[in-house]
Amino acid sequence: MDDLSQRHALACHVAREAGMLAMEYFCRRDELTVDAKGVQDWVSEADREVESLIRSRLAETFPRDGILGEEEGWQPGESAGYWVIDPIDGTTNFLRGLPDWGVVLAYVEQDQVQVGVTYAPIHELLYSAVRGQGAELNDQPLKRKEEAVAPDSALIYLGFGARNDLPAYKARLDYLYSCNMDQRRLGSAALALARTADGRVDGFFESRINLWDVAAGLLIVEEAGGWHNYIDRPLPRGEKMGVLACDASLETTLMPLFEIRG
């Protein structure tokens, strides 16, 4: 296998192993030590232990790669690329016993995601992609339908957190409804992007979000035939991002969401 194929195989294996560990914690979540990182921003011992497992597995096979993780930060490497990991994306859902959370790994090289994996343990769904080689869901090819999506039949995930501006969020809601689009909040950007890729929803937008939340999902959307605003653009590593991913037919309709500041 070439390097990307090896990294893809490793990422899929590690995501499943990490998902099993996360599930063990999920089943006894009332016993976990939980700390606040900010307003409505939580971290538990499960997040830390799952990230530690992922880091150790990556280092065993690709010790020269850098790693950027949500909980332990940046670890520089000597190779041309680095991993981006979110051990439990959707921690609030996880801690409250809700099913929508997942393990996320991405490999970045030349400022573009080359491998992306999102695993939802409760749903037993493994989404993955390798740049130029398509996307998969549970080892089967994943491709969005080619038919255009009419705005008045579209369903969009709209992300919001304490770091977002409430008046701007309300304005974006107003805009979506003016286009006759329906919307939801999920609480996991990684799964919102995965569901955009498989066509369960038609798009995802959040104005300020971290790379580890979205890196894998952006590639999965792209390789499944969707569109996102970082296609052919370098990814920022150390700053929050505004992200739009959607069915390609909705790009023009949804781009005004960026014009609403905040």
Contacts of 140 (CB under 8 A, 6+ apart): none
Q: Which residue has the higher pLDDT, 242 or 165?
A: 242
Set out the domains of the chain in order of their start, with CATH numbers: 3-142 (3.30.540.10), 151-259 (3.40.190.80)
Q: Write the CB contacts of 12 (distance below 8 Å, at least 6 apart in sequence).
A: 117, 126, 128
For residue 145, give every residue at least 6 positions away whose Cβ sits within 8 Å of its Cβ, in sequence order, or none: 199
What pLDDT band is residue 72 in, cutting at 50, 70 and 90?
A: confident
Q: At residue 31, does pLDDT exceed 90?
A: no
CB 162 within 8 A of CB 39: yes
d(CA 119, CA 103): 5
Q: What is the pTM of this model?
A: 0.95
pLDDT digits (tens, 9 = 90+) for 171-208: 999 999 999 999 999 999 999 999 999 999 999 999 99
CB 177 within 8 A of CB 88: no
pLDDT tens digit sequence for 118-176: 999 999 999 999 999 999 999 999 999 989 999 999 999 999 876 678 899 999 999 99
Q: Is the pLDDT of residue 237 over 90?
A: no
